[in-house]
Amino acid sequence: MSYPVRLKTGFFETTAYLLSVVPGAIRLDPVDGTQGDAVVIAKAEITAIMLSRKTRPGIEIQTQGKTFFGAFTNDIDRGKLESDLRKAFGSRLGSETE
């Protein structure tokens, strides 16, 4: 299952991606279809994942060298996303409550 997300790519810039939880990784594919710009973050690189429930549901993915910030663009099945992430990444996943 893919989840539409806008990733922060600059100071006042975001880019539309589809986030997928794949075996051993998180995959971010640009909505515009530019395959060369796909981002795959391997499980070994991920130090923490945080799901937030601010005004719009969001995600923060921390690696050793970079932090990815994103806001989900549509109403998503947050329970399914959280379940998928927990199965794949276990204790690396944190979640803010309302």
Q: What is the pLDDT of residues 30-75, one digit of tens each?
A: 998 776 789 999 999 999 999 987 667 899 999 999 999 999 976 8
On the CB side of 19, CA atoms within 13 Å amount to: 27
CA distance readout (Å), 92 to 37, 46, 79, 86, 95: 25, 8, 17, 8, 10
Check whether 98 has a pLDDT greater than 60. Answer: no
Q: pTM of the prediction?
A: 0.86
The tokens of 50 are what?
């945080």
Domains of the chain are 2-95 (2.30.29.30)
